[in-house]
Amino acid sequence: MKILSDWFERFFHDPQAVILTVVLVVGTSVVLVMGRDLAPVLAGIVIAYLLEGIVQILQCRLRTPRLLAVVVVFILFMAFVFFVLFGLLPLASRQLTQLIQQLPAMIIQGQNLLLSLPAMYPDFITEVQVLEVINAVRAEIGTWGQNILTWSLAAGMGFITLIVYLVLLPLLVFFFLKDKNLILDWVHGFLPHDHTLAQQVWREVDRQMGNYVRGKFLEILVVWVVTFATFAYMGLQFSMLLALMVGLSVIVPYIGAVVVTVPVALVAFFQWGWGSEFMWLLGVYLIIQGLDGNVLVPLLFSEVVDLHPIAIIVAVLMFGGLWGFWGVFFAIPLATVVQSLIKAWPRQTVAIVE
């Protein structure tokens, strides 16, 4: 008990720490218990938070009235949404359909290649091993087919959910931006008058998370556009779909780049074989990845506190296990929040007596 009491005294001796703990517990509980039901509201808060940076630029630098700045930013946001829905997604969907149609031919070509390996390298691989690999791949493809069928049966409910999001989400984003100060004053009414630590932590979180998420959005956009232009110029099939996958892969550092390299290499191989076009494409693709990691990321995230690679992997695994895709998407910002909390948390100084 003495150890526990000393630990509690060290981390919770300040009343401000207790207030912050209560706020965090309540907020986390709401997200965990009601997150699925409040998903449109939470998504609206996140999007409004991201767009607030552009509103602030229009207000502070161009002296634009807030209501006018909100209207301009909201119109730009809706234009981007319509571009994604009616421009980007249909093209990516068509290329995905074409890829699925060509998948049987790719599988046959891959089987023929595997079956030729025992004759080429008899000392390293046998025909039995090749057949085991082929059977394992067939079983995995069968599992994927069942999952796709299950997903297609639930597509009706997904379509209804999409319609709800398309109607509610823009309204929520607009009102969150328009009535930001009113909403914040209402929230402050539930907090104790002295919540200095909570304000300090929020300022640190706002600085770190805002910079990260907005920078990550720009990184996705730049990598996607550059990769698409490169793949299209080199004549790679499914260039839009693959470029979109490469752009989204930067959401998960290290892991995303490794995972997305596999479909890029496979499509290029089945299109060109072991030819010079295949080698050139992989070389250019690796250059894009290198420029992203060594030039673009330091340029966009110069003001963001660096996270250790182990912390990034742990955050992706933990938050991905809790919230699936969205947990992976927001793993790094959430890890940044945790880091900001640890940095700002008051600690009792223990004097060393000789």
Instruction: Walk along the chain (354 residues) and give the pLDDT tens digit of each residue.
Output: 556 666 555 555 556 666 667 766 776 777 667 666 777 787 788 788 888 888 888 888 888 888 899 999 999 999 988 888 888 888 888 888 888 777 777 777 777 777 777 777 777 777 777 777 777 776 766 666 555 545 544 444 455 666 777 778 888 889 988 888 888 888 777 666 666 666 777 776 776 666 777 778 888 889 999 999 999 999 888 888 899 889 888 877 777 788 888 888 888 888 888 788 889 998 999 999 888 877 887 777 655 556 666 777 777 778 777 766 667 767 777 777 777 677 666 655 444 444
Helix (H, G, I), strand (E, B) or coil at 308: coil
Please give the full DSSP string across 63-132, using - where no structure is assigned.
---HHHHHHHHHHHHHHHHHHIIIIIHHHHHHHHHHHHHHHHHHHHHHHHHHHHHHHH-TTT--HHHHHH
**Count of CA atoms in the C-beta half-sphere (13 A) of 192:** 14
Q: What is the pTM of this model?
A: 0.69
For 52, phi then psi, to 5°, come to -60, -30
